[in-house]
Each structure stands twice: as structure tokens, then as C-alpha cells.
């Protein structure tokens, strides 16, 4: 594995520069690009925008080697950046960009060569803000070749002590090209990073650089997924440093970008290829962009057709193949004058079984032209609240003509919509829990069917959990034979085990305190936190981890034989805590 090399150790080193500089070699593309660093040059649209961020982790981007070429000290052991950015496109051709790098975390070793002291960065800092502008010169996005020119300006606001900024303005004029041939896509870029900071660092050339990079890949899954490698690098142009090992950092990343409608998600990782300043042992990238695609212009409206040449276009002509006359009735407009229709229901009197009363067409000649009664219950559809279900008369207009639905448990929710038709319960979502109680007693536990919610990372019960806790309270009040209940808290395996056990115990105790405050005898309740020790599902998925974060009420003692298990809600989920 190749690492960044600094000539900090050894008898012949003479270091006069101890200030930091913008070490991070990853320059994110403008938001909306199909790549991490390369530009896909999608400059379509007018007033179109994109926003997003990229997490950028670099491992050992600045280390010192001894005379045996082994790593001796790590001046910068790691850097974790969050690059936030936005772009705005004008007139299908011009793009403006803003990028704000936030150094979230960094660490390293203090290095003392005997001639200079290098203080390692520690903690978070702000990087140099980047302002950008590009103009499309040739081609369009999605064609074989697109060319654009532009420039970036870096403001000197970043922290030099944290190796997050140069402390002076940088200007990067650049050219970029991109294209697509079938499933294959590519992008290349080049530019000059003009740096006003020109002092050498650790006896290595430092200053203005030539930058370059490229990407290539294939687009699959109905054009949603782009997979392929990217590389980028630079070389110092001053002090005979061109293509010098320490002055030429190169990196390679293999990654993919997945588009789901207006959202683009990217994930990539790869090694540094040289020991250039800032080239890490490896780098990991994760990006999320909101980048609405340019909308295609609507097609021109079709020429109206008039097949029967009666002066009424087919779209408005009820009889497009028969010349007719205009009427105010859309059902007869453009049709020949109709035969007599006394009730004006569109069915001529000679065929209308109810010529004096407006009705509808029917296959039965005896009902053709009569008011509709689809369910044939003797109540016409106009008055029938349930026209597709045969029913009975009712003084209530909302139930007139409707069947009487069964409601076995009398909770006001008909059996057809009641997930627990034999046990009364409130109306709620989803349908699998509608009409079911919030809690029930089984042979071994008081089972809750809704989550007990806590503030994130705390043992504070959220107000929305009062209803399910009230249901547990009512069960304990109604079942005095349950003399001992263990309130048990559980978590997933994210985070330290000792912290999870502590938090789950605190949450279980908070539930006990809630119940005792309502009047449950303290001697009937105990609490314990098990942390991640007793999972009921896999911790490899978000759904499984959510199932593992829960609170359970285990029955420890009861003085009477338990009643038959209540299976009124077989689809209910165990209560849980986040």
C-alpha cells in the first residue's frame, strides 16, 4: 500500500515551513454531476438547481517515513470532511456553484524533527469556501462529446492549523469534457491550481499545480445506476517539482451513483497511488444530492381533427363519423338531431321502458331507460347509499339501501374492517391493527401493540406513548392476580454495549416510574436493561434493528391461573424504543 511521504526525519532534512495548508486532495464536482470528482456537464435547464453533500474520509493523508522507508509518525492520521454545496443553472449553458467544506474530525501526531515543530490537527474546522462558474462551449449533456470551461475561486477562510485551508486565495481555471456512447459514459478534466502560498513544506516543492482527472463507467438498471472508476491527481509546477513523487499525489476510486427520481446517492472507495502530499492510504466517499432533472419541453398540440366535416372537431364531437349539428349537450354535440326523448335521458321514447322518467340504458328491454338500480334491491341508485350492494330501507339517508354490517365486539368498527372482531378496540392505522386493543395479556407477558417512544439517546418518554402505557396500566388494574412484572429494556447493537445496557435500563426504569405514578404498587414492578444481549431480529437491517429496540413486560408471578391467551391481534408488533 502506497502512502504519502514526508521527508521529516533524517539528518539531511532542513524544514523551515511549519504552517499547514489545504491537504485534502478530493475536489468534489459541482452538485448534480454523475461522478464524485469528474464533471458530467449536465447544464440543461433555466433556473434549475441542485444541492447536496459528500462525506469524505481520508486515512493517513500525511505521514513521515524513516530511513528504512517505514512510517515513523502520522502528522495527519485521518480527516473526515463534509462537503456541502449547491449549483444554479441559467439559460441551458451557464452554471454557478458554491461548495463549503466542513472538517468534522481530524487527528494525528505532533512531529518534532529537531529543526521544526509540526503540531497535529485535532477536532473540527472550516475549510476554504469554493465559488465556481462554468459555461458550456460545445455539445449537450447525454451526447458523445460535451465541452465546458470555467474557474473556481477558493476564499482564504479555512484553518491552516487543521490542514483545512491555505490561508490565501486560490484560483483554478479549468476545462472539462464528458460524453456518452450507449451504456458507456466518460468524463475528463484539467486545470491549473494557482496557489499564492509557495513556501516549500517539509523540504518538498509546494505551490502552483497542474490538476487532472477522469472517469469512465457503464450505466445499468434502466439508467439508474452508474458504475465505474475515477482518478484524479496533480503535480507541482514550481521548483523542479513536476512529477516528483512527493509533489504528485494520485488517487483512484471505484464507486457507483444511483438515481431515484430527483435524488442521487453515491458510494465509492479507493487507494492513494503515490506518496504525494495529501494522497491517503485510502479514501471513502458517500454522497447525497437533490438534483431535479431538466424537464423536456411539452410537445406541440396536435392539429384538431374533424372526420365528418361538420365543423365540430372530433374531440368535442359526440358523433365524429356522422355529420350533425352543434348543441349545448356534450353527449349530442355534433350528432344528427335525435328522435323524440320526452324524459331527455338520451333514450328515444320508442325504446324507453320509462319514457316519462329519466333513466339509464339496460340490457333488459323492460328496464331500459328506467332509473338505475344496480343492486336490484328496489331502491333506485339516486336514493341508494350503497348502490352496488343489495340492502334494506333506512330512515337515515346515509344508510338507506345498505346492508347491515356485523360488529361482533360492539366497538363501532364493522367486522369486515376490524382486525380484532371479537375484542373491542379503538379505530387506528394500519388496517392490520384497526379495532384492536393497545395491549393484551398472554400466558407470559403483557403484550403491547404500539411502540413506546423515547427521546433519541435519552430515557424521556414521549407524550405520544401515554396511550399505550395507559393501556398497560388498565390491564394491571384489571388483573390484580398479576403480582410481579419485569419491565425489560432492549436495544440494537449500534454503539457501545455498556452504554446500550445503561440506556435500556434507564428507559425500563422510566416506564416503571410512569406506572407507579399512576397508582400501580411499586412492589409489583421491577426493571432491567439488557442492551443488545437479547435480539429478536437481525441487526443487519434497519427494520431488524428497530424490532430489537423495544420494551417488554414479562409476567414473573401471578396468583391465579392465567386466562386463555388473547389472540385478538396476531399482527401486532411488540412495543419498542428507539
Residue-wise pLDDT for 236-268, tens only, equals 887 666 777 777 899 999 999 999 999 999 999
- Is the bond preceding 542 in cis, omega lying within 30 degrees of 0? no
**111-112 vs 117-118, strand pairing mode:** antiparallel
Whether residue 296 has pLDDT greater than 80: no
Q: What is the DSSP letter of 15?
A: -
pLDDT digits (tens, 9 = 90+) for 381-415: 888 888 888 888 888 888 888 887 787 877 778 88
Q: Kindly state the cell numbers that stand for 480.
A: 390484580
What does the pLDDT look like over 351-363, one tens digit per residue?
Answer: 888 888 888 888 8
pLDDT of residue 436 exceeding 50, the answer is yes
* C-alpha cell of residue 278: 495529501
Per-residue pLDDT, 175: 97
Helices marked H in 464-541 — which ranges?
A: 466-478, 497-518
Distance CA 198, CA 489 (A): 60
pLDDT class for 211, splitting at 50, 70, 90? very high
Residue 229 is predicted with a pLDDT of: 98
Alpha carbon distance 149, 136 (integer Å): 7
Q: Compute the distance between CA of residue 250 and CA of residue 275 in angstroms, rounded to an integer.
A: 8
List, in sequence order, every residue forming a beta bridge with 421; answer none if it has no partner: none
Cα separation values, 180 from 92, 183, 191, 215, 385, Å: 19, 7, 22, 12, 59
Q: What is the residue extent of each domain of the chain? A: 48-290, 437-558
Residue 522 has phi, psi (to 5 degrees) of -60, -35
Cell of 194: 494557482
- Burial class of residue 382 (count of CB atoms within 10 Å of its CB; 0-12, 13-18, 19+): exposed
Work out the average pLDDT over 506-531. Answer: 94
Kind of pairing, strands 445-448 and 71-90? unpaired
Secondary element (H or E) of residue 195 = strand 184-195
Contact 97, 130 (CB under 8 A): yes
Domains 48-290 and 437-558 share a fold: no
Output the pLDDT for position 205: 65
- pLDDT for 37 beyond 80: yes
CA distance 456 to 467: 20
- Where residue 531 falls (left for φ over 0; alpha for ψ -120 to 50; beta otherwise) is left
What is the C-alpha radius of gyration for the chain, rounded to an integer number of angstroms? 37
**pLDDT band at residue 105 using 50, 70 and 90 as cut-offs:** very high
pLDDT at 528 over 90: yes
Q: Among 112-116, 270-274, 479-483, 560-564, which stretch is predicted with the lowest mean pLDDT?
A: 560-564
What is Dmax (Cα atoms) for the chain? Answer: 116
pLDDT interval class at 228 (50, 70, 90):
very high
**Residue located via cell numbers 472517469:** 215
Cross-strand bridge partners of residue 209: 193, 236
Q: What is the mean pLDDT of residues 36-59?
A: 95
Asked if residue 16 has pLDDT above 90, the reply is no
Query: Measuring CA to CA, which residue among 155, 167, 244, 168 is closest to residue 205?
Result: 244
Dist. CA 265–CA 289, nearest whole Å = 7
- Per-residue pLDDT averaged across 3-17, rounded? 40
| Grid cell listed for 200 | 516549500
pLDDT computed for residue 569 by the predictor: 38
Question: Which residue from 85, 97, 87, 76 is spatially nearest to 54, judged by alpha carbons?
Answer: 85
Query: Is there a contact between 412 and 429 (Cβ–Cβ < 8 Å)?
Result: no
Higher pLDDT, 145 or 301: 145
Tell me the pLDDT tens digit for each residue of 109-163: 877 655 556 677 778 899 999 999 999 999 999 999 999 999 999 999 999 889 9
**What SS3 class is residue 434?**
coil
Determine contact, residues 244/205, Cβ cutoff 8 Å.
Answer: yes
SS (H, E, C) 374-409: CCCCCCCCCCCCCCCCCCECCCCCCCCCECCCCCCC
Beta bridge partner(s), residue 287? 54, 266
In a 13 Å sphere around the CA of 454, the CA atoms on its Cβ side amount to 26
Average pLDDT value over all residues in the chain: 86
Say if residue 343's pLDDT is above 50: yes
Which residue would you say has higher pLDDT here, 310 or 205? 310
Q: Which of 110-124, 397-411, 426-440, 488-502 has the highest mean pLDDT?
A: 488-502
Q: Which residue has the higher pLDDT, 196 or 320?
A: 320
To which CATH superfamily is domain 437-558 assigned?
OmpA-like domain (3.30.1330.60)
For residue 203, the model assigns a pLDDT of 64
* Mean pLDDT for the stretch of residues 171-182: 96
Q: Which pLDDT score, from 0 to 100, does residue 345 have?
A: 83
CA separation for the pair 309, 186 (Å, rounded): 55
* Confidence (pLDDT) at 199: 62
pLDDT tens-digit readout, 369-378: 888 888 878 7
Q: At residue 269, does pLDDT exceed 90?
A: yes
Is 60 exceeded by the pLDDT of residue 459?
Answer: yes
- Report the alpha-carbon distance of residue 358 to residue 299 in Å, rounded: 43
Q: What's the CATH fold of domain 48-290?
A: Porin (2.40.160)
The answer on pLDDT for 563 being more than 50 is: no
Which whole number is the average pLDDT over 295-309? 82
DSSP string, 57-125: EEEEEEEEE-TTS-EEEEEEEEEEEEEEEEEEEETTTEEEEEEEEEEEEEE---EE-SS-EEPPP-S-E
**DSSP per-residue letters across 199-247:** --BTTB--S-EEEEEEEEEEEETTTTEEEEEEEEEEEE-STT-TT-STT
Predicted confidence at residue 430, as pLDDT, reads 80
- Residue 152, number of CB atoms within 10 A of its CB: 20
Q: Name the residue among 188, 185, 190 with its Cα closest to residue 259.
A: 185
Amino acid at each position: 500500500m502506497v502512502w504519502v511521504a514526508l521527508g521529516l526525519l533524517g539528518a539531511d532534512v532542513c524544514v523551515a515551513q511549519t504552517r499547514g495548508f489545504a491537504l485534502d486532495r478530493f475536489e468534489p464536482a459541482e452538485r448534480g454531476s454523475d461522478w464524485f470528482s469528474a464533471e458530467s456537464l449536465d447544464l440543461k435547464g433555466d433556473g434549475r438547481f441542485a444541492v447536496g453533500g459528500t462525506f469524505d474520509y481520508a486515512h493517513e493523508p500525511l505521514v513521515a517515513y524513516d530511513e528504512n522507508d517505514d512510517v515513523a509518525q502520522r502528522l495527519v492520521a485521518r480527516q473526515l470532511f463534509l462537503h456541502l454545496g449547491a449549483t444554479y443553472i441559467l439559460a441551458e449553458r451557464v452554471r454557478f456553484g458554491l461548495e463549503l467544506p466542513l472538517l468534522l474530525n481530524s487527528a494525528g501526531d505532533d512531529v518534532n524533527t529537531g529543526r521544526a515543530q509540526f503540531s497535529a490537527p485535532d477536532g473540527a474546522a472550516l475549510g476554504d469556501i469554493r465559488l465556481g462558474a462554468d459555461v458550456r462551449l460545445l455539445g449537450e449533456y447525454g451526447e458523445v462529446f460535451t465541452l465546458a470551461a470555467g474557474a473556481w475561486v477558493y476564499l482564504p477562510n479555512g484553518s491552516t492549523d487543521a490542514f483545512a485551508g491555505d490561508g490565501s486565495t486560490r484560483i483554478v481555471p479549468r476545462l472539462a469534457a464528458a460524453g456518452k456512447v450507449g451504456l458507456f459514459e466518460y468524463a475528463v478534466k484539467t486545470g491549473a491550481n494557482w496557489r499564492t502560498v509557495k513556501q516549500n513544506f517539509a523540504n518538498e516543492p509546494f505551490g502552483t499545480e497542474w490538476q487532472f482527472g477522469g472517469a469512465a463507467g457503464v450505466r445499468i438498471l434502466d439508467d439508474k445506476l452508474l458504475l465505474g472508476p475515477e482518478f484524479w491527481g496533480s503535480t507541482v509546477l514550481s521548483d523542479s517539482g513536476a512529477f516528483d513523487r512527493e509533489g504528485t499525489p494520485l488517487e483512484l476510486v471505484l464507486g457507483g451513483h444511483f438515481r431515484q427520481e430527483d435524488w442521487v446517492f453515491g458510494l465509492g472507495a479507493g487507494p492513494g497511488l503515490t506518496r504525494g502530499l495529501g494522497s491517503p492510504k485510502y479514501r471513502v466517499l458517500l454522497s447525497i444530492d437533490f438534483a431535479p432533472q431538466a424537464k423536456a419541453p411539452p410537445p406541440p398540440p396536435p392539429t384538431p381533427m374533424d372526420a365528418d366535416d361538420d365543423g365540430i372537431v372530433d374531440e368535442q364531437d359526440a358523433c365524429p363519423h356522422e355529420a350533425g349539428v352543434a348543441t349545448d349537450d356534450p353527449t349530442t354535440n355534433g350528432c344528427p338531431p335525435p328522435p323524440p326523448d320526452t324524459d331527455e335521458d338520451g333514450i328515444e321514447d320508442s325504446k324507453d321502458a320509462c319514457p316519462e322518467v329519466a333513466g339509464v340504458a339496460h340490457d333488459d328491454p323492460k328496464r331500459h331507460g328506467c332509473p338505475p338500480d344496480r343492486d336490484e334491491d328496489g331502491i333506485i341508485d339516486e336514493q341508494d347509499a350503497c348502490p352496488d350492494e343489495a340492502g334494506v330501507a333506512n330512515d337515515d339517508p346515509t344508510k338507506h339501501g345498505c346492508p347491515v354490517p356485523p360488529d361482533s365486539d360492539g366497538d363501532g368498527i364493522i367486522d369486515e374492517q376490524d382486525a380484532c372482531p371479537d375484542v373491542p378496540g379503538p379505530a387506528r392505522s394500519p388496517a392490520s391493527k384497526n379495532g384492536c386493543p393497545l395491549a393484551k395479556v398472554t400466558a407470559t407477558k403483557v403484550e403491547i401493540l404500539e411502540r413506546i417512544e423515547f427521546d433519541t439517546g435519552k430515557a424521556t418518554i414521549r407524550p405520544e406513548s401515554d396511550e399505550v402505557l395507559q393501556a398497560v396500566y388498565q390491564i394491571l388494574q384489571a388483573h390484580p392476580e398479576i403480582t410481579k412484572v419485569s419491565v425489560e429494556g432492549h436495544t440494537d447493537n449500534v454503539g457501545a454495549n455498556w452504554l446500550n445496557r445503561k440506556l435500556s435500563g434507564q428507559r425500563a426504569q422510566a416506564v416503571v416510574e410512569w406506572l407507579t405514578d399512576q397508582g400501580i404498587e411499586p412492589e409489583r414492578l421491577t426493571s432491567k436493561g439488557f442492551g443488545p444481549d437479547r435480539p429478536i431480529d437481525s441487526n443487519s437491517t434497519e427494520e431488524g434493528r428497530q424490532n430489537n429496540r423495544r420494551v417488554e413486560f414479562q409476567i414473573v408471578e401471578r396468583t391465579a391461573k392465567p386466562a386463555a391467551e388473547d389472540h385478538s391481534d396476531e399482527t401486532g408488533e411488540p412495543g419498542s424504543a428507539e
